[in-house]
Amino acid sequence: MAKQTHSFQAEVKQVLHLVTHSLYSNKEIFLRELVSNASDACDKLRFEALDNAALFEDAPNLEVRVSFDEAARTVTISDNGIGMSEEEAIAHLGTIAKSGTREFMAKLEGDQKKDANLIGQFGVGFYSGFIVADRITVETRRAGVAADQGVRWSSEGTGDYEVETISKPGRGTDVVLHLRDGEEEFLKTWRLKSVISKYSDHISLPILMKKEEWDADAAKQVLKDEWEPVNKASALWSRSKSEVTPEQYEEFYKQISYDTEAPLSYTHNRVEGRSEYTQLLYIPKKAPFDLWNRDKRGGVKLYVKRVFIMDDAEALMPVYLRFVKGVIDSADLPLNVSRELLQESRDVKAIREGSTKRVLSMLESLADSEDAAERAKYAEFWKDFGSVLKEGVGEDHANQERLAKLLRFASTQADEGVSLADYLKRAKDDQEAIYYITADSLAAAKNSPQLEIFRKKGIEVLLLTDRVDEWMLSHLYEFEGKPLQSVAKGAMDLGKLQDEDEKKKAEEAAETFKPLLDRLKAALKDRAKDVRVSTRLVDSPACIVVEEGDMSGHLARLLKQAGQAAPASLPTLEINAEHALVKKLDASAQFDDLAHVIFDQAVLAEGGHLEDPAAYVKRVNAMLLA
């Protein structure tokens, strides 16, 4: 047949420029697309040959070959797959987003679809070759037809393409890219190998390239006639769990994470249902240095039918699980999926929800294990990643209850590892709340005056010292029906744990000390909202508390450190009517100065900072000299 010239479909003319310049964010992606198409053609041949073994002709071993010619400035991707007839070449290469595979899949019926799950759906991928090439030549012959019925298709990617009949002994397709000026980097073995390794390493067919060896006489690398595979040709996550050893799982983790240590834990599952995907997810043993960077890209790689799509698919995992590494391979997403599409896709939302639940299940199995070694693993995890996991309490309301069970704290009974469930098991029978205190450090929390009545009564109090705790508590109000209550907010009411004699004694003290309280309010009118007799102090003369609904002093300090303004509010001063210093106060000739010293000491004991430290020192020195 003589050479014929055809015009591209109208949509091709309109979209081709967009495809080659905007659809793909980096140039090297063209090789991924063309290798994927070649693999797809081989998969299609394998499937059709189930009914017609003659299609294999004399070459039953399916493969993809990648080669280059530095002198001719060409890169060639060849396969011995199904190939195309003239009509198919015109239909599939002249029409945008019309995939022969898609038509092929549409013809399958019933259970055959399960057998075809390796066959990709490819649309505009072929046109990505024009990112680096100013002309593409395709030589192809459909399996099962005569050698003289081959087809050559060529185009410069503008308005027209040419088609002619050629003789092609071998079945399959050769895609020859004539590189543009400036794309010489793709005429190097190492460059092509690196792209194949990055994007197509796990394609199940062998991808072959010519061996390259050093020629001492020529003082350069030269190509040999021998071909060698450059991909592993086996996606570890696509294999059955029974076929993969723990050592292989660990080695794969190190490859994808660049970590030198084995992971703390991993999970490998195939999910079927509304969305079909495979997940292989790892929890690292140690936190990365950039763990607290919430803008950091996620650690999950996205594949579609074993074809690499993107390195850091943050849409597949919530931000609070940004430490998770691994692979998710979808059977449903399109190959040209963008980050924008990932955000909107219902399939992606299903994958995200399923993967989140899988990671939480993995953590729960460690935390609740009867094996001490497994529980020790979770304790190790919590030290490095606990603060980040707390972010999920406020961000992931669907899993808030599960996350709450995974939380671990220090308390007045243990320096670490106390769960909310553990706390409730040890709680007093009549205890009506889960008590906690927030502070800048564990020492400050342990020695806070607000804890004195709780120590006296043997009531456990959680000690919260992470910067994220205050924010987390604004979303976590209760656990298993028990409210979480700060010991540093509001008037202390221990309910049934406070006997009637104590309540009566506190009421009498408030009445007896009313004149003193009024004098203190006047002396501290610019610093304290109120002054009252305390029911929470045992050994200390005074303490600072805030009212329910007001911002704690700890949170106000955190906001100030972050350069943000905290809402203006005054604290309440509570005094211990039984303390000797308070009893001395009423008769003191330096009443105002002593009142300010007591207030300043209460601020310091709470972990706060004095606005005028020099004034405090001056008052204390004056009293020492009196």
What are the beta bridge partners of residue 66?
77
pLDDT digits (tens, 9 = 90+) for 590-624: 898 999 999 999 988 888 888 889 998 998 898 88
Contact 305, 331 (CB under 8 A): yes
Q: Return d(Cα 373, Cα 444) in angstroms, integer.
A: 32
How many of the other CB atoms lie within 10 Å of CB of 156?
14
pLDDT digits (tens, 9 = 90+) for 335-375: 767 767 777 788 888 899 999 999 999 999 999 999 999 99
How many of the other CB atoms lie within 10 Å of CB of 78?
19
| Nearest in space to 235 (alpha carbons), one of 272, 278, 283 | 278
Average pLDDT in the chain: 84
Q: Return d(Cα 595, Cα 517) in angstroms, integer.
A: 11
Contact 313, 302 (CB under 8 A): yes
| pLDDT more than 90, % of the chain | 40
Q: Return d(Cα 343, Cα 345) in angstroms, integer.
A: 6
Contact 436, 485 (CB under 8 A): yes
In this predicted structure, what is the pLDDT of residue 40? 83
Q: How confident is the model at residue 294 (pLDDT cuts 50, 70, 90)?
A: low
Contact 443, 371 (CB under 8 A): no
| Nearest in space to 236 (alpha carbons), one of 195, 190, 270 | 270
**In this predicted model, which residue has the larger pLDDT, 140 or 222?**
140
| Nearest in space to 160 (alpha carbons), one of 294, 394, 18, 3 | 3
Stretch 392-415: mean pLDDT, rounded?
A: 94
**In this predicted model, which residue has the larger pLDDT, 511 or 183?**
183
pLDDT digits (tens, 9 = 90+) for 234-286: 778 988 899 888 988 988 888 778 787 899 999 999 998 888 999 999 999 98
- Which of 11-25, 364-378, 400-414 is predicted with the least confidence, judged by mean pLDDT? 11-25
